[in-house]
Structure 1
């Protein structure tokens, strides 16, 4: 059965979010001023909170049974790990010892998560 226009639009929007946050992580990596880093980190965190909420409340439930449950469960756990880092970043400042490291680890987690999300294969009918 072909995808509906709405389903395609939702996937396109999620992928656009992925590209946008990847761009912000790259800008953070190049930033040198603390104020600039804090602004970029705040943008990254805000986008990821909204994005993960949409995925968890709408997208993932709609995918149940269409992708392997283990992959879906892994996505929820990855979101939980990202939420911990997001909270730590939000509660800290660029001058703090682990600020840049937290953002870098969050970027690596999100890169892994996006790669898996965008290459998932549907469950084979059977």
Structure 2
């Protein structure tokens, strides 16, 4: 967090649902960036590097949800579904990374659709389960765990 941020910006950066929504948008943007690389006929190394970035961000996002966010919510079938989707998305990402080439290109397109559907489900269904929780305290815990996992204090929340 920079010194120039105002108090409302600092508070917003620790709101759990805003942090998670921001993660969803960043993942979607990375998938769009990948499609731009495909259209520009970028090198396999550039494409592979971006797949690794998508994977890293996706895995950290899923991990902080699985470790901190989901356990704070009342148990439900929606949480079971969301967790299962994390596992499916991770498996798909591993298949894409192993495939490479044109197979990876189509795989990232399918992954982008699956990520968007998962984000929509979380934002429309799972986030509602957080009603009544202290979302700022929860957000601070999510951010602290992200920093532990990445070692990057400057990474946006």
Q: Would you say same fold, with TM above 0.5?
A: yes
Q: Taking structure 2 as the reference length, what is the TM-score of the superposition?
A: 0.65
Q: Write the deviation string for residues 45-69 of structure 1: whole angstroms up to 9, x where unpaired.
A: 000010000011110111124xxx1
- The C-alpha deviation readout for 1:32-55, integer Å capped at 9, x for no partner, is 212222121111000001000001
Paired residues, what number?
Answer: 114
Structure 1 segments unaligned to the other structure (5+ residues) = none
- Larger RCO (alpha carbons 8 Å, 6+ apart): 2
Q: Which stretch of the first structure deviates more once superposed, 31-40 or 17-26?
A: 31-40
TM-score of the superposition, structure 1-length normalised?
0.79
Query: 4+ residue stretches of structure 1 with deviation over 2 A?
Result: 89-93
Q: Match of 1:115, SS? A: helix
Q: Find the aligned partners of 1:54 and 1:91 in 2 and give their Cα distance.
A: 25
Distance, in Å, in 1 between the alignment partners of 2:61 and 2:95 is: 18
Residues 61-81 of structure 1 deviation map (CA, whole Å, 9 limit, x = unaligned): 11124xxx1111110111111
CA RMSD of aligned residues (A): 2.2
1:93-112 to 2 correspondences below 5 Å:
93=100, 95=101, 97-112=102-117
Q: Structure 2 stretches of 5 or more lacking a match?
A: 1-10, 131-157
